[in-house]
Amino acid sequence: MPPSVSASWSFTEDDFAAITKALDRFLSDCNARCALLVDRTGQLVATVGERPSFDPTAFATLTAADFSANDQLAKLIGENDFNSLFHQGEKESMYLADISRRVILVVLFDNRTTLGLVRLKLRHTVGELSQLFDNVFTRSAQAAGAPNVLAGADDEIDKLFQ
Amino acid sequence: MSMINYASREINCKIVYYGPGLGGKTTNLEHVYGQVEPDTRGKLISLATETERTLFFDFLPVDLGTIRGFKTRFHLYTVPGQVYYNASRKLILKGVDGIVFVGDSQLERMEANQEAMQNLYDNMAEYGYDLTSMPFVIQYNKRDLPNASPIRDLQAALNPGWEVTNPSRMRVMPDVAHPGERLVEQLDSGEWIERAPYIEAVAVNGDGVFDTLKVVSKLVLKTLA
């Protein structure tokens, strides 16, 4: 099936609980403020930790764009990709890491912790999340022939746009 | 690529407005932003140059309602119209669920329209996406201008139809929005062709903007039904 036709991916409440658990542990281990998971198309998957004071949807979109632009920069200098990015601010900083080439993990932290500690603790979490998302995407691909989430909802869709 | 979140009961889809520079892509998003209730839309993000030309993209998330208990959330993007920014244009197409091509009706922009359409096909093909098998609509903008080309000419240049190869689609499909016209039909040569639905618009006044959004988002949701 070409990727453009009804290609979609989904995750369940159990996946969500596993993601949250892994990220909660990571945040408490490294004392970072908040972690966001964003898919490569710019959609927000999850937010864990302190509730961000900014618009998380806009943030997710810009994160994906940032990562995509940097991927292209990597190619220009002969690298396949940059699997992590670091943006340093005066008080707040962010660290972005690739998960299975499908999702981006963004960690926001301030001077209560250090880049070294975040990076160290992240290694294990990235491994854990990669495995989790590999399963999610394999499952979504296998379900490609199964009925769609809105199967039989044609009338409802028509009504929505009347 | 739509994302279905069963935890928050949301369906997220991505729609990209594509087309030549100064054709009205950003204007479409600005109109939507201005007209929908603030609680059903997010921030309008514009990564533009100092002269308000789109540098990377514009972005607007809107909620279009609930189906089967799932909130349908559409992320609307525009691409930079200027050819110079092709690298960023291409990035925005990643994971797209539906495309709106915003054409500029002015006679002297015909070549720019055709160039942008070819560029769209090329960039989609590089991702392995087939534009002819996904939600795709064409908006002919600036219909109010005196130098606007007739729709017939625009259709011939930008939407002549692609060959239908799937036998199940080889049946006449009328274009409900334009009486007497057809989206799928058989030519005298025996060949079946399909065209993208089109909408006439004056985006600066808002004419046709919501019609366009409705047509494309409905097509996107139907791919999930």
Residues in chain A closer than 8 A to B166 (CB atoms): none
Q: Which residues of A touch B70 (CB under 8 A)?
A: 149-150
- Model pTM? 0.88
Taking the C-alpha atoms of residue B88 and residue B73, their distance in angstroms, rounded to an integer, is 24
Helix B110-126 to helix B151-158 angle, to the nearest 10 degrees?
30
Tokens of B166: 């799937």
Question: Which chain B residues touch A65 with a CB distance below 8 Å?
Answer: 47, 56-57, 91-92
pLDDT digits (tens, 9 = 90+) for B164-201: 998 998 999 999 999 999 999 999 999 999 999 999 99
Pair B166, B217 in one domain: no
Has residue A63 got a pLDDT over 80?
A: yes
Nearest by Cα to B53 from B16, B11, B81: B81
Average pLDDT over residues A42-55: 92
CB < 8 Å to B128, chain A: 2-4
Residues B119 and B166 in one domain: no
Q: Could you say which of A3, A43, A65 has the minimum Cβ distance to residue B56?
A: A65
CA distance A125 to chain B (A): 21
Q: Work out the average pLDDT over B57-84.
A: 91
- State whether B151 and B215 are in the same domain: yes
Inter-chain touch B225–A154, beta carbons under 8 Å: yes
Q: Indicate if B191 and B214 belong to the same structural domain.
A: no
Encode pLDDT of B102-136 as tens digits: 999 999 999 999 999 999 999 999 999 999 999 99
Nearest Cα neighbor of B2 from B97, B131, B136, B92 is: B97
The partner residue sitting opposite A160, judged by closest CB among B3, B11, B65, is B65
Instruction: Give DSSP secondary structure letters for A3-21.
Output: TTSS-EEEE-HHHHHHHHH
**Tell me, what's the pLDDT at A120?**
95
Distance separating alpha carbons of residues B144 and B121, to the nearest angstrom: 28
**pLDDT at residue B19, as a whole number:** 96
Domain count, chain B: 2
Asked if residue B54 lies in contact with residue B26, where contact means CB atoms within 8 angstroms, the answer is: yes
Q: Which of residues 22-41 of B touch A (CB under 8 A)?
A: none
The label of the residue with tokens 């940097």 reads A70
Residue A5 belongs to a domain = no
Q: Which domain holds residue B172?
A: 161-195
Q: Is the dihedral of CA A37, A42, A44, A50 positive or negative?
A: positive
> Is the minimum CB–CB distance between A100 and chain B shorter than 8 Å?
no
In a domain, A6, yes or no: no
- CB contacts of B211 in chain A (<8 Å) are none
Q: Is there a single domain that holds both residue B174 and residue B210?
A: no
**The pLDDT of residue A143:** 78
Which A-chain residues 36-55 have CB contacts (< 8 A) with chain B?
Answer: 39-43, 45, 55
Residue A122 lies in a domain: yes
pLDDT bracket for residue A5 (50, 70, 90): very low
For A81, the domain range is 13-160
Tell the residue number behind the tokens 């080309």, with chain if given.
Answer: B149
The total number of structural domains in chain A stands at 1
How much of chain A, in percent, has pLDDT values that exceed 90? 63
- Confirm whether A104 is domain-assigned: yes
Of B7, B14, B91, the CB nearest to A13: B7
Mean pLDDT of B73-84: 89
Residues B201 and B101 in one domain: yes
Q: Are residues B215 and B109 in the same domain?
A: yes
From chain B, the residues in CB contact with A2 under 8 A are 128-130, 133
Q: What is the CATH number of the domain that holds A122?
A: 3.30.450.30
B32 and B139 belong to one structural domain: yes
Q: Look at B3 and A2 and tell me if their CB atoms are within 8 Å.
A: no
- Least trusted range by pLDDT, from A153-157, B20-24, B62-66: A153-157
